[in-house]
Structure 1
Amino acid sequence: MSALKSIAAAASLFGQTPGDPEPAAHVEAGTGPSRRSVLVGGGSLVVGFSLFGNQALAQEGGQNGGGEGTGAAAHPEEKAPALPGSLKTNPQLDSWIRIDADGAITVFTGKAELGQGIKTALSQLAAEELGVEFKAIRLVTASTGVTPNEGYTAGSHSMQDSGTAIMNAAAQVREILIGMAGTKLNLPAEQLKAENAAIVAPDGRKLGYGEIVAGQRFNTQAQPTSKLRDPLNFTIIGQEIPRVDIPGKVTGGVAYVQDLRLPGMVHARVVRPPSYGAQLTAIDTSAVEKLPGVLKIVRDGSFLAVVTAKEFQAVTAMRALQVAAEWQERPSLPNQSTYYKTFRSLPSDYRLILDSHAPTAPAAKTVSATFHRPHQSHGSIGPSCAVAHFTGGKMTVWTHTQGVYPLRKALTELLALPDEQVQCIHTEGSGCYGHNGADDVAADAALIARAFPDKPVRVQWMREDEHGWEPYGSAMITELSGSLDAGGKIVDFQFEVWSNTHNGRPGPAGNLLAAQYLEKPFTPAPPTPIPQPEGGGDRNSIPLYHIPNAKVVEHFVKTMPLRVSAMRGLGAYMNIFSIESFMDEMAVAAGADPVEFRLRHMEDARARDVISKAAEEFGWSSWKASAPGRGRGFAFARYKNLGAYCAIAAEVEVERETGAVRPVRFVAATDSGQVVNPNGIRNQVEGAIVQSSSWTLFEQVTYDNTRISSRTWSTYPILRFPALPDTVEVHIIDRPGLPFLGTGECGQGPTSAALANAVANAVGVRVRDLPLTPNRVKTAIGV
């Protein structure tokens, strides 16, 4: 089925038919069978379906960002054993798996495909446990009212939460089918096996899944433990099945929400204020209204937009409105040259994260260091985009948000509509991993569609909108101090971090950009810390190393001068950069090899395995600089101290005359628990290395005292092809039968520190401020 028909089918779930009304013959991202057919059953295996019950909505608020948070726990009065993964909050089996009378199998996930490959991995899990071919699985991703509510797709939680739920639900469904078939065949369940979408008896008789469930309805909740297949017998899990989301992306097909075109669709652009807090004081729209294709100008307070028949007409009209608009601005941004001093002086809450004490040998040497991270943009290649359709009092939004249910909550507040009148359908976006402009542009589209009903309205941000208005990754400051005993072991460690929450996602309507500029504006929710063990600004601030005396403090800055929210990894990127750079500084003070020094302080066996593996594959012990200016660096972290383990060794080349840093080679080792798709894990770690290299070497938001100035690719540079490393190797340590740990954000922190450590090794001086620009490196060298 064409992508357009898939989108139309998704809309038809909600009584919308903006495109081809043909029912879905296949289930693709953000689409699915009609809600009525799912609820009624119609010859399907229907097991107590309840998408709108209290438990299903328990994650509505979610929390966290970068992508974080999986929401609330089950009802406190229920003392039943914990269910695995997201079955805790979505316990009905049919919330996850549906089998039709014709044998078609549909799997539902509340997580979104963001380019991390979960469409493929989740389908592999379901196929393995159900005993069917991979191609037999039809996966429905995040869509309100259709899929389970799993909060945000974030924080490397997709496999831990949704993957665990689907694997266990599929295993339980398989056993239910075996039991039902045993009744029909008059055989005990232990004599039957699930194979090729059928239950097979020893005498060769078999019943297809569709035959077994035809006309049946059930009311079954997930159980705490299911009979999972033995990893020794896997035929699909662990295989490098090609990712299903890739072909359209590399062939110019319809792959992203930016590509979406619906019949009768119109185009819109928003005229953003020139700076934070600017108010629209006057505008004469008469000339713009006469421009070709202009259908409507929408104004509500300082929210200004134009609707046209064609896209370039919208761009032309938007530019004309920008000229016609008069704004009242006020200087609200600090002096960038002294920003960190200002940042330190902002009101903050003192939060003690760790305070451990044990007797040790006396300290013989102490090392101290301060590190800085600037505000950084997501740098999404495709500016944020959404399509909204308001008709019959119902709003449908196609969006690349990372949380369809939290976004729906925000939109219902913004539009004053009940939940059942708003549907959010996830459609992949070209650029994501964190809170970029996806939610904001969805709000833009919804507001404009309400003002221009009965036609789908497509809103595409411009590059200056994306770079100038998205919520940035928060600036951070860290201060570290550590003491060594005479034998070169760490006896004391002090860590302080100044940071914001790293989470300004909706939920609340006030967290949507447009909502803050309406005639009756909504107020953003006050920032709150994300608690440990995951944390926000303090994520990964607690070292995994064995250190007898350690103190970790977060200075939680409540209000930032620039708009900030979740960027991939939240505070982990900066905290790992700081700690792992500092570990090298401590190793130098101890006169120790950096890898040996880490192993000296590491008790976690799995951590030791990835450190040793990365060092071995890199050739650490035998490495010698092949040319002047070459250096090597090493870094390790376990993401959030409870996710995937990752160690990275890097080789760089530094031009002393210019200070330019060129990554030459990366070798990584990772342990993500049981491996579902090795290629997917490699993709994630390779992507983390490239993305983090860009952050670490190039990226920084710039501004004057009134406006953001880094609104173009020339003023906000990112890593380009010439700066890519020559080689990247990712070595995976598989742990069959162990829990999924999540891979998506494990590599960003170690990459940054490995680069910084390699630069220090190459030129003999340490650069502690990000990014490691040529000027900064050259200044440190003193050339």
Structure 2
Amino acid sequence: MEQTTNSRRTFLKTSGQLLIGFNLFPLAFCQSKETENSVMKNYSGIPERPHIDSNLIDSWIRLDTDGHVTILTGKQELGQGIRTALMQIAADELDVDLGICHIINGDTGQTANEGYTAGSNSIEGSGKAIRQAAAEARLVLLKLASEKWGTDISKLQVKNGVIQGGPDQEISYWELLEGKYLEEKITGEAPIKDHKDHVHIGKAVPREDIRSLVRGEPHFVHDLRLPDMVHARVLHPPVYNAKLVSIDLDKIKDQEGILKIIEDGSFVAVIAKREFQAVKAWQQLKESTKWESPKLGPLLESLFENMKANANPPQMVEDSPGISGKINSSSKKIKAEYQRPYHMHASTGPSCAVAKWDDDYLTVWSPTQGVYPLQNSLADLFGLEKEKIRCIGMPGSGCYGHNGADDVSAEAALIAKHYPGKPVRLQWMREDEHQWEPYGSAMVIQLEAGMDENGKILAWDTHIWSDTHSTRPNGKAGHYVSARHLKDPFEFQKGGFSGGSYRNATPLYNIPDKRLQLYNYDGPLRTSALRGLGAYGNIFALESFMDELASEAGMDPIAFRIKNLKDDRAIAVLETLASKTGWDSKGKNPGNGYGVAFSKYKNSASFFAVLAEVEINKAERSFKLTKMTGVIDSGQCINPDGLKNQTEGGMVQSASWTLMESVQYDENGILSKDWNSYPIMRFKDVPEIEVHIINRPELPPMGAGEAAQGPVAAAIANAVFEGIGSRVRTLPITSDKIDWSKTN
């Protein structure tokens, strides 16, 4: 692949960019127009050049010759609507119409390194950076116009990118450049607009990606088709740490369309001209292969007890001396244990990626949540300089957390290395996705608390047993499963025992004495980041326990929570929930169960409160989730539709985890290989959902994507208890776990 040698001035003349702080860098790894299809339309017509320095304005904002604005972000669009929201932020600060804005996201050849798109921090982090860069770009342009006209900058106004001064003074951003180039860093001194002056922020701007999905247009990496592309399948082992004993290639190698069969240690893959040919060969390879397979353990029936018996010594996260005595001396005390099983990402579309080698240059089109971490890990896998790897982020079908996206990207690159010069498309089979993705860890949470006779909580003690919630392969090839199967394998070092396990385990409530201990556990299944990490299990336990305490105190669940809170915004979401749902008159559906829960995600992001309603059928010993109502406070709301989309999606996903999902396995491997053995919520099961937003435009925006996960689980559990009288503390909440003899 050749690198361009254009001079800086030539580049400026041909691209017409506002290059603030730009130093010429070879435009390596840029995709030619011939390789684009409709899936790549977001990149069409936008000049490409590698990112250099995140302190430079043009790392985030560029002005194009055709009168458009290009926004750049290292964050990935995972269906959360950040492309639209970030354009809204930039358009307001630049004083331009939203219709002239483009956005490029997640491309090591163009965008800044913003790590992983995780932890609900895209709007907080990337939004802040883009807002500052846009404000700085506007200020630089206003200064240019002020100098050109000799007019005080305070007398200038901007309308859709056109600066207006006196009666005959009008010039657009693009005309003002006159082929010049500017070099400016983000100083942080450019004034940010007052929220009262916003035109786009706070508006429900429709998302183009949803339009594409509804119309069935190409959108996902699965839809990408490049010239001369070939197809591949990987034959994964039947269970963790299995070794290849023998394989019969004779029936496969001469079949029509088969281009290559790769055998490297226990890593086996096939390349074919057409996808069905690859799938057919994969099936035959699967039937003719023998493995040496170790046994899995401990098994499900003893997992939770094994976690408590064989975990590492406790790590003291938060301590309060003498807490046991304070609990025991309380007039009311209670203790309970909650259990969460292994959960899948269960992505709707199996993981998929495309890779191409040109000499020593590698390009990967990937649904990864972090293009730069992927670049780092591929560099380690191939012993290659990072500058020779370009990772282009594309949407994946159901991508959140660390699913199979990084693994399939590495495997596509491994296969393409054996077949250079052609784009190689690799898609996992459904059983690959279910068996080999990293799961959300099983957890055990023990809680104990003491309170006074008035319902004031005095002391709270938390014990958590959990496997790691983070084995993302950031620079470590051994975190790719197939890298461990090679003839010269990469070592896997789990690590990752960190705050993810105890996320949201510390109550936000006003409790004088709190203690938190974490017991790290090396479990039988592969685990990593699943949406919310440990927050889902911890909030399920914490808010179920709050309900138990309220019951013990004989208090209304909302009133009890408010009594133990001092955060005004936390109180506001609960009071708003009560108002919107007619909490005091919830008896309008006699016999149904109603449950409430609340959290502030990570104790630093969005506030969320939810009411769940379940319909009880005592005769059939069954229940159904019929309605959920949520109230969310994410500070300044950029796009109300986007915020509701994220919150509703999180509520549905959490309800599915809570009511249906649990990874099943035995000593021979994973049993949950398809949608029958790992059921998820279907459309017929989805309850009515309402989401209400408390908009605080005067405050910074906060992350919202994972705010609903934990509270929904607890609200459902609390609703089941209220309606039936039986407390279920082990997820998923199914009828067989309910003591129906307690039904009134």
TM-score scaled by length of structure 2: 0.93
CA distance in 1, matches of 2:206, 2:285: 47
Deviation (angstroms), 1:656:
3.2
CA distance in 2, matches of 1:180, 1:517: 59
Number of the residue aligned with 1:472: 439
1:259 equivalent to 2:223? Answer yes
Amino acid at match of 1:602: L
CA distance in 1, matches of 2:689, 2:652: 9
Deviation (angstroms), 1:217:
2.2
CA distance in 1, matches of 2:525, 2:32: 39
Among candidates 577, 580, 583, match of residue 543 of structure 2: 580
Amino acid at match of 1:739: P
CA distance in 2, matches of 1:383, 1:27: 20
CA distance in 2, matches of 1:111, 1:396: 18
Does the 8 Å contact 1:103/1:211 carry over to 2?
Answer: no
Among candidates 614, 633, 636, match of residue 595 of structure 2: 633
Does the 8 Å contact 1:385/1:460 carry over to 2?
Answer: yes
Identify if the C-alpha distance between structure 1 residues 550 and 15 changes in structure 2 by more than 3 Å, giving closer, same or farther.
closer
CA distance in 1, matches of 2:455, 2:356: 65
Q: Secondary structure at the match of 1:439?
A: helix
Deviation (angstroms), 1:226:
3.0
Does the 8 Å contact 1:18/1:263 carry over to 2?
Answer: no
Q: Secondary structure at the match of 2:677?
A: coil
1:745 equivalent to 2:706? Answer yes
Does the 8 Å contact 2:341/2:441 carry over to 1?
Answer: yes
1:775 equivalent to 2:736? Answer yes
What is the 5 A alignment of 1:323-722? Answer: 323-356=287-320, 363-507=330-474, 508-530=476-498, 535-557=499-521, 559-624=522-587, 626-628=589-591, 630-722=592-684
Does the 8 Å contact 2:311/2:465 carry over to 1?
Answer: no
Q: Secondary structure at the match of 2:34?
A: coil
Does the 8 Å contact 1:652/1:663 carry over to 2?
Answer: yes
Amino acid at match of 2:423: P
Deviation (angstroms), 1:660:
3.4
Amino acid at match of 2:608: C
Deviation (angstroms), 1:27:
8.4
Number of the residue aligned with 1:130: 94
Deviation (angstroms), 1:706:
2.2
Among candidates 171, 180, 193, match of residue 229 of structure 1: 193
CA distance in 1, matches of 2:290, 2:172: 68
Number of the residue aligned with 2:142: 178
Number of the residue aligned with 2:11: none
CA distance in 1, matches of 2:648, 2:261: 45
Deviation (angstroms), 1:781:
5.2
Identify if the C-alpha distance between structure 1 residues 108 and 16 changes in structure 2 by more than 3 Å, giving closer, same or farther.
closer
Once the two structures are overlaid, the 10-residue window that deviates more, 398-407 or 247-256, is 247-256
Identify if the C-alpha distance between structure 1 residues 138 and 780 changes in structure 2 by more than 3 Å, giving closer, same or farther.
farther
Does the 8 Å contact 1:373/1:770 carry over to 2?
Answer: yes
Deviation (angstroms), 1:224:
2.8
Deviation (angstroms), 1:21:
5.5
Residues 575-610 of structure 1 show CA distances to partners (whole Å, capped at 9, x for unaligned) of 000000000000000010000000000000011111
Identify if the C-alpha distance between structure 1 residues 371 and 657 changes in structure 2 by more than 3 Å, giving closer, same or farther.
farther
CA distance in 2, matches of 1:582, 1:782: 21
Amino acid at match of 1:570: L
Amino acid at match of 2:353: A
Residues 449-484 of structure 1 show CA distances to partners (whole Å, capped at 9, x for unaligned) of 000111111001011000000000000000001111
Number of the residue aligned with 1:732: 693
CA distance in 1, matches of 2:636, 2:322: 36
CA distance in 2, matches of 1:332, 1:285: 29
Deviation (angstroms), 1:442:
0.3
Identify if the C-alpha distance between structure 1 residues 485 and 524 changes in structure 2 by more than 3 Å, giving closer, same or farther.
same
Once the two structures are overlaid, the 10-residue window that deviates more, 617-626 or 394-403, is 617-626
Q: Secondary structure at the match of 1:390?
A: strand
Deviation (angstroms), 1:722:
1.7
Residues 678-704 of structure 1 show CA distances to partners (whole Å, capped at 9, x for unaligned) of 000000110111000000000000000
Q: Secondary structure at the match of 2:587?
A: coil
Does the 8 Å contact 2:29/2:109 carry over to 1?
Answer: no
Does the 8 Å contact 1:100/1:213 carry over to 2?
Answer: no
Identify if the C-alpha distance between structure 1 residues 541 and 482 changes in structure 2 by more than 3 Å, giving closer, same or farther.
same
CA distance in 2, matches of 1:113, 1:780: 48
Number of the residue aligned with 1:757: 718
Deviation (angstroms), 1:633:
0.3
Does the 8 Å contact 2:451/2:459 carry over to 1?
Answer: yes
CA distance in 2, matches of 1:539, 1:658: 38
Stretches of structure 1 that go unaligned for 5 or more consecutive residues are 1-11, 40-50, 57-89
CA distance in 1, matches of 2:422, 2:561: 60
CA distance in 1, matches of 2:165, 2:70: 25
Q: Secondary structure at the match of 2:678?
A: coil
Does the 8 Å contact 1:101/1:215 carry over to 2?
Answer: no
Identify if the C-alpha distance between structure 1 residues 554 and 659 changes in structure 2 by more than 3 Å, giving closer, same or farther.
farther
Once the two structures are overlaid, the 10-residue window that deviates more, 392-401 or 770-779, is 770-779
Deviation (angstroms), 1:723:
1.1
Amino acid at match of 1:522: F
Once the two structures are overlaid, the 10-residue window that deviates more, 247-256 or 200-209, is 200-209
Deviation (angstroms), 1:393:
1.7
CA distance in 2, matches of 1:208, 1:772: 60
Q: Secondary structure at the match of 1:348?
A: coil
Deviation (angstroms), 1:560:
2.1
CA distance in 1, matches of 2:741, 2:143: 71
CA distance in 2, matches of 1:779, 1:274: 40
Residues 754-783 of structure 1 show CA distances to partners (whole Å, capped at 9, x for unaligned) of 100000001001000000022222578599
Deviation (angstroms), 1:720:
1.0
Does the 8 Å contact 1:767/1:780 carry over to 2?
Answer: no
CA distance in 2, matches of 1:604, 1:350: 31
Q: Secondary structure at the match of 1:261?
A: coil
Amino acid at match of 1:114: L
Residues 406-426 of structure 1 show CA distances to partners (whole Å, capped at 9, x for unaligned) of 011111111121111111100
Deviation (angstroms), 1:432:
1.0
Once the two structures are overlaid, the 10-residue window that deviates more, 99-108 or 591-600, is 99-108
CA distance in 1, matches of 2:456, 2:38: 64
CA distance in 2, matches of 1:778, 1:658: 13
TM-score scaled by length of structure 1: 0.88
Deviation (angstroms), 1:172:
1.2
Q: Over aligned residue pairs, what C-alpha RMSD do you find?
A: 2.2
Q: Secondary structure at the match of 1:564?
A: coil
Q: Secondary structure at the match of 2:263?
A: strand
Amino acid at match of 2:491: T
Number of the residue aligned with 1:766: 727
Deviation (angstroms), 1:204:
4.7
Among candidates 14, 21, 34, match of residue 20 of structure 1: 34
CA distance in 1, matches of 2:560, 2:732: 26
CA distance in 2, matches of 1:334, 1:249: 42
CA distance in 2, matches of 1:309, 1:323: 22
Identify if the C-alpha distance between structure 1 residues 556 and 710 changes in structure 2 by more than 3 Å, giving closer, same or farther.
same
Does the 8 Å contact 1:358/1:548 carry over to 2?
Answer: no
Residues 325-380 of structure 1 show CA distances to partners (whole Å, capped at 9, x for unaligned) of 11111113222111111122233242222224799895111111000000010011
